[in-house]
C-alpha cells in the first residue's frame, strides 16, 4: 500500500488514462496547468472554464482511472486548449486510515461569494493537513457582450462547524470581472490526512517567482529522495491592465496558468528538492487606431499545493 | 486542555485576488501537539477603485471579501480575495499607485486551537456563504461554553445593474444556545440600494478547556470625520493576565458589526474598515485605532463618511 502520483495531458474534449501498478483505494485529481484559448485572436466570450470527470467503472477498485475533460469556453480552440491533470492515488484498500482523497464538484462562487461543498468529510480526529486544489471551474457572464477584465479562482479546506466530530469541508471562491455579473462554480480536490507517516509530502507554494524555483524537502517523505511530484493549482488570478487602452478592455484570446510537467526536475539541485517553473499568461486583443493590438495581463498570481511521494 | 493562538496580517499589496497570506504557528506548537481547529477572520478591508475614466468614483456593482484557508501542518495558508466592480471596466486596485491611492486588501486574522489530538476540541470554525439575514444550520457546542461570532467575509451585489450607495452595513451574531447548539447569522447590505449578499461568519465557542487567551469588546472613541481622511476610532483594552502567563504576545481585531454612513447616496472611490498600522501591545494592554471611510473626491461631487458611522469590534489576545 502506497501513495502514487501521476500527471497526464488532456487536449480539448479528450480523456486520459492513469494506469497504476495495483488497485486504487482512493484518489483525487486536480489541475497542474491549463491553457484555454479561442479560435480567433480577440473574442467576446460569455462562458469560460473546463470540467474534469472520472469515467464510470474506473478508479477505486480497479488499476486505472480515466478522466474525461470538457472545455467550457465559447469559441474554444479545441486543438489548442489543454490541461495537465494530476492524480494523487492511494494504492491499496479502500478508506485508508488517516487519509482522505476525494473530489467535490460544483461549489457555487457567484459574485465571489464563499461556497462550501455539500459533503463534509469526517476525519475522525483533527487533520494535520486539510487542503484543496482546483479541479475545474465554470463561469458565465449574465450578459453576452461583457468585456473581460480579470479572472480567478481559489479553494481551501475548513473545519466544518456543523459536525460534532472533526470534519472538513471544501471552500471555494471565484471572480470574473467584466461588464456584467457572473455566476460560477469551482470543482476541487480535497486532500486531508491525520498524520504525516503515509509517504505523502504536502507543501504550500505561494506565488512562485518567474523563472526556476526549488521546493525544499517536505517532512512527509522522511528524508527520502522524491519519486514523483505534482503541482496542484490552489488559486490563481489574472487581470488586464485597467488603463491599458483608456477604454474597453481587450477581448479574450488565451489564459494559461500552472506548472509545465516538462520543466519539473526531481531531486534537483539536491535529493529531496524539486525544481519547477510557474507559467501564467492572459492575452487579449483590442483594436487601437484601427489596428489589432495584443495585450497581456498586468496582475498575475498563482499558488500551488505541491504533493510528493518518496522514491523506491 | 488546548490553547488558542492568534495571528493577523494584511494581504500583500500585489493582487486583489489569490493573494497568499501565510500564518506559521510552528513556534506555538509543542511536541505532540497540532492545530486542532482554525477559523479565519476579516479584521478589516480597504476597497479602492481603479477606474478607466477621468473620474475617481464609480457606482457599485459588486463588493466583497473572501478568505479561503488551507491547513498545511503547522501553517494556515489563506487565500485573500477582495472584489470591487461596477461592471464597466473599473475594479479594485492592487498594487497601489501614487495616483489612485491605497491598494485593495483585507486584514486577515487566523485563530488556531492547538493541543494534543482529541475529538472534543472547542469550536473554532467559519460558517461560509450564509445568505444575508438567514440563520446557519445548528452548530454543536460544548457544555458551559461562551460563543463569539465575528465577520470572516462577505459578498454583496446589486440586485439589478449598478448604482449609487448610501453606505455599507455588515453584521454578525450568534444566537443563545438551545441545549448544546447555537446558530450564527450574518447580514450585509449597501444602503439605499437593492442588493443580494452572503456573509461568512466565524465562531469561537470555548469553555475552561481552552486557555492562553482572552477576548474583550473594545470601547471605541470615535473622532469627528475629517473628509477624505475618514473617521478614526481609538481603543485601549486592558487584559488581566492569567496565572502562568506574563504578557500579551499577539492580538487581533475581530469585527462584529459595521455601519458606514455616507453623507448622500452617491458614487464612491474607496470604502474602508481598517486598523491604522499594527496594534500596539504593551505587557497587558492592546491599543490602536481603526479608520472607517467612504468618499468620492471627484470635482463637483465631493462626498464623505458621516459621523453616524460606527463599528463594533473585539480584541482577541494570545498570552505568553
**pLDDT of A247 over the 70 cut:** no
Q: How confident is the model at residue A62 (pLDDT cuts 50, 70, 90)?
A: very high
Interface subset of A 232-271, CB within 8 angstroms of B = 234-237, 239, 242-243, 246-249
Which residues, in sequence order, are CB contacts of A35 under 8 Å at separation 6+?
A: A80, A81, A82, A83, A254, A255, A256
User: Are residues B20 and A150, on separate chains, in Cβ contact within 8 Å?
Assistant: no
Residues of B within 8 A of A236 (CB-CB) are: 18
CA pair distance A282, A80, nearest whole angstrom: 15
Alpha carbon A135 to chain centroid distance?
A: 5
* Proportion of chain B above pLDDT 70, given as a percent: 99
Residues of A within 8 A of B71 (CB-CB) are: 127-131, 157
CA pair distance A74, A42, nearest whole angstrom: 12
B202 touches A: beta carbon within 8 Å: no
Please answer whether residues B230 and B272 qualify as being in contact, where contact means their C-beta atoms are separated by less than 8 angstroms.
Answer: yes
User: Are residues A172 and B127, on separate chains, in Cβ contact within 8 Å?
Assistant: no
Q: How confident is the model at residue B200 (pLDDT cuts 50, 70, 90)?
A: very high
CB-CB: which of A155, A160, A242 is closest to B91?
A242
Report the residue count for chain A: 312
Q: What is the mean pLDDT of residues A256-281?
A: 97
Q: For residue B297, give how far its alpha carbon lies from the nearest alpha carbon of chain A (Å).
A: 19
Alpha carbon A289 to chain centroid distance?
A: 38
Please answer whether residues B176 and B149 qualify as being in contact, where contact means their C-beta atoms are separated by less than 8 angstroms.
Answer: no
Q: How confident is the model at residue A287 (pLDDT cuts 50, 70, 90)?
A: confident
User: Are residues B72 and A204, on separate chains, in Cβ contact within 8 Å?
Assistant: yes
Domain that holds residue A262: 2-310
User: Are residues B68 and A180, on separate chains, in Cβ contact within 8 Å?
Assistant: no
Q: Which of B9, B48, B89 to mutate to test the interface with A (most CBs of A within 10 A)?
A: B89
Q: For residue A78, give how far its alpha carbon lies from the nearest alpha carbon of chain B (Å).
A: 28
CB-CB: which of B79, B93, B138 is closest to A235?
B79
Hey, where are the domains in chain B? 2-319
Domain count for chain A, please give it.
1
B109 touches A: beta carbon within 8 Å: no
Interface subset of A 205-224, CB within 8 angstroms of B = 206-207, 219
Residues of A within 8 A of B14 (CB-CB) are: 207, 299, 301
Q: Could you report the per-residue pLDDT of B46-86, keeping only the tens digit for each?
A: 999 988 888 899 999 999 999 999 999 999 999 999 999 99
CA pair distance B75, B111, nearest whole angstrom: 12
**pLDDT of A244 over the 50 cut:** no
B139 touches A: beta carbon within 8 Å: yes
Residues of B within 8 A of A132 (CB-CB) are: 70
pLDDT for A133 equals 98
Least confident of A87-96, A246-255, A261-270: A246-255
Please answer whether residues A159 and A170 qualify as being in contact, where contact means their C-beta atoms are separated by less than 8 angstroms.
Answer: no
Residues of B within 8 A of A307 (CB-CB) are: none
Interface subset of A 178-197, CB within 8 angstroms of B = 178-181, 194, 196
A108 touches B: beta carbon within 8 Å: yes
Q: What is the mean pLDDT of residues B101-110?
A: 96
Alpha carbon A231 to chain centroid distance?
A: 8
Interface pTM, i.e. ipTM: 0.96
User: Are residues A154 and B17, on separate chains, in Cβ contact within 8 Å?
Assistant: yes
User: Are residues A247 and B52, on separate chains, in Cβ contact within 8 Å?
Assistant: yes
pLDDT for B172 equals 98
- What's the whole-number average pLDDT of chain B? 95
Report the chain A residue with the minimal C-alpha distance to residue B118. Answer: A125
pLDDT for B120 equals 66
**pLDDT of A147 over the 80 cut:** yes
A284 touches B: beta carbon within 8 Å: no
Residues of A within 8 A of B127 (CB-CB) are: 161-162
Q: Could you report the per-residue pLDDT of B9-53, keeping only the tens digit for each?
A: 999 999 999 999 999 999 999 999 999 999 999 999 999 998 888
Pairwise pLDDT comparison (B158 vs A156), residue with the higher score: A156
Number of cross-chain residue pairs from A and B with Cβ atoms under 8 Å apart: 209
* Proportion of chain B above pLDDT 90, given as a percent: 89
Q: How confident is the model at residue A1 (pLDDT cuts 50, 70, 90)?
A: confident
CB-CB: which of B14, B91, B127 is closest to A150?
B91
Please answer whether residues A129 and A157 qualify as being in contact, where contact means their C-beta atoms are separated by less than 8 angstroms.
Answer: no
CB-CB: which of B15, B89, B203 is closest to A237?
B15
**pLDDT of A96 over the 90 cut:** no
CA pair distance A279, A256, nearest whole angstrom: 7
**C-alpha cell belonging to residue B223:** 473622532
Q: Which of A171, A243, A286 to mutate to test the interface with B (most CBs of B within 10 A)?
A: A171
Interface subset of B 218-257, CB within 8 angstroms of A = none
Q: Could you report the per-residue pLDDT of B140-185, keeping only the tens digit for each?
A: 999 999 999 999 999 999 988 899 999 999 999 999 999 999 999 9
- Please indicate, yes or no, whether the overall pTM of this predicted structure exceeds 0.90: yes
**pLDDT of B243 over the 70 cut:** yes
Closest CA to B271 of B53, B107, B44: B44
**pLDDT of A245 over the 70 cut:** no
Q: For residue B238, give how far its alpha carbon lies from the nearest alpha carbon of chain A (Å).
A: 31
Pairwise pLDDT comparison (A291 vs B254), residue with the higher score: B254
CA pair distance A208, A75, nearest whole angstrom: 31
Amino acid at each position: 500500500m502506497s501513495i502514487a502520483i501521476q500527471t497526464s495531458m488532456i487536449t480539448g474534449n479528450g480523456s486520459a488514462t492513469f494506469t497504476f501498478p495495483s488497485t486504487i483505494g482512493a484518489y483525487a485529481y486536480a489541475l497542474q496547468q491549463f491553457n484555454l484559448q479561442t479560435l480567433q485572436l480577440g473574442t467576446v466570450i460569455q462562458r469560460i472554464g473546463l470540467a474534469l470527470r472520472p469515467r464510470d467503472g474506473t478508479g477505486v477498485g480497479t488499476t486505472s482511472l480515466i478522466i474525461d475533460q470538457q472545455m467550457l469556453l465559447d469559441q474554444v480552440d479545441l486543438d489548442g486548449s489543454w490541461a495537465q491533470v494530476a492524480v494523487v492515488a492511494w494504492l491499496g484498500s479502500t478508506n485508508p486510515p488517516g487519509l482522505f482523497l476525494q473530489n467535490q464538484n460544483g461549489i457555487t462562487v457567484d459574485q465571489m461569494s464563499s461556497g462550501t461543498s455539500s459533503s463534509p468529510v469526517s476525519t475522525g480526529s483533527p487533520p494535520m493537513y486539510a487542503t484543496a486544489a482546483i479541479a475545474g471551474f465554470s463561469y458565465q457572464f449574465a450578459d453576452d457582450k461583457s468585456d473581460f477584465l480579470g479572472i480567478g479562482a481559489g479553494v481551501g479546506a475548513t473545519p466544518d462547524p456543523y459536525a460534532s466530530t472533526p470534519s472538513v469541508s471544501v471552500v471555494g471562491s471565484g471572480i470574473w470581472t467584466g461588464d456584467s455579473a457572473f455566476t460560477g462554480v469551482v470543482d476541487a480536490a480535497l486532500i486531508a490526512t491525520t498524520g504525516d507517516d503515509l509517504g505523502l509530502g504536502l507543501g504550500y507554494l505561494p506565488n512562485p517567482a518567474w523563472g526556476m524555483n526549488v521546493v525544499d524537502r517536505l517532512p512527509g517523505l522522511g528524508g527520502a529522495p522524491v519519486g514523483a511530484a505534482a503541482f496542484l493549482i490552489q488559486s490563481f488570478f489574472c487581470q488586464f491592465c485597467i488603463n491599458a487602452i483608456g477604454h474597453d478592455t481587450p477581448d479574450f484570446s488565451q489564459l494559461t496558468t500552472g506548472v509545465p510537467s516538462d520543466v519539473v526536475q526531481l531531486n534537483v539541485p539536491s535529493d529531496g528538492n524539486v525544481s519547477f517553473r510557474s507559467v501564467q499568461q492572459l492575452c487579449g486583443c483590442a483594436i487601437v487606431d484601427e489596428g489589432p493590438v495584443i495585450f497581456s495581463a498586468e496582475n498575475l498570481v498563482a499558488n500551488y499545493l505541491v504533493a510528493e511521494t518518496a522514491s523506491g | 486542555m488546548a490553547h488558542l493562538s492568534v495571528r493577523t496580517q494584511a494581504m500583500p499589496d500585489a493582487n486583489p485576488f489569490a493573494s497568499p497570506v501565510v500564518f506559521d504557528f510552528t513556534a506555538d506548537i509543542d511536541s505532540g501537539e497540532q492545530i486542532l481547529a482554525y477559523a479565519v477572520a476579516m479584521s478589516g478591508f480597504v476597497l479602492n477603485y481603479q477606474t478607466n475614466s477621468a473620474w475617481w468614483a464609480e457606482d457599485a456593482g459588486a463588493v466583497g471579501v473572501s478568505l479561503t484557508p488551507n491547513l498545511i501542518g503547522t501553517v494556515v495558508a489563506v487565500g485573500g480575495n477582495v472584489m470591487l466592480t461596477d461592471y464597466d471596466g473599473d475594479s479594485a486596485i492592487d498594487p497601489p499607485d501614487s495616483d489612485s491611492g491605497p491598494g485593495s486588501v483585507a486584514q486577515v486574522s487566523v485563530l488556531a486551537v492547538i493541543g494534543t489530538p482529541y475529538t472534543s476540541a472547542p469550536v473554532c470554525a467559519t460558517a461560509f456563504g450564509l445568505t444575508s439575514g438567514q440563520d446557519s444550520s445548528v452548530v454543536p457546542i460544548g457544555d458551559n461554553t461562551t460563543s463569539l461570532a465575528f465577520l470572516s467575509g462577505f459578498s454583496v451585489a446589486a440586485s439589478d445593474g449598478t448604482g449609487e450607495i448610501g453606505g455599507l452595513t455588515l453584521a454578525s451574531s450568534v444566537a443563545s444556545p438551545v441545549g448544546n447548539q447555537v446558530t450564527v447569522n450574518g447580514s450585509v447590505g449597501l444602503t439605499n440600494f437593492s442588493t443580494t449578499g452572503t456573509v461568512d461568519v466565524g465562531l469561537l465557542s470555548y469553555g475552561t478547556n481552552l486557555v492562553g487567551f482572552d477576548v474583550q469588546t473594545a470601547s471605541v472613541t470615535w473622532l469627528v470625520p475629517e473628509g477624505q481622511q475618514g473617521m478614526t476610532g481609538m481603543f485601549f483594552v486592558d487584559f488581566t493576565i492569567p496565572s502562568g502567563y506574563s504578557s500579551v504576545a499577539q492580538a487581533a481585531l475581530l469585527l462584529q458589526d459595521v455601519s458606514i454612513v455616507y453623507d448622500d447616496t452617491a458614487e464612491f472611490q474607496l470604502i474602508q474598515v481598517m486598523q491604522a498600522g499594527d496594534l500596539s501591545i504593551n505587557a497587558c494592554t492592546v491599543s490602536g485605532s481603526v479608520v472607517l471611510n467612504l468618499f468620492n473626491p471627484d470635482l463637483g461631487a465631493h462626498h464623505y463618511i458621516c459621523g453616524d458611522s460606527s463599528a463594533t469590534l473585539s480584541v482577541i489576545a494570545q498570552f505568553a
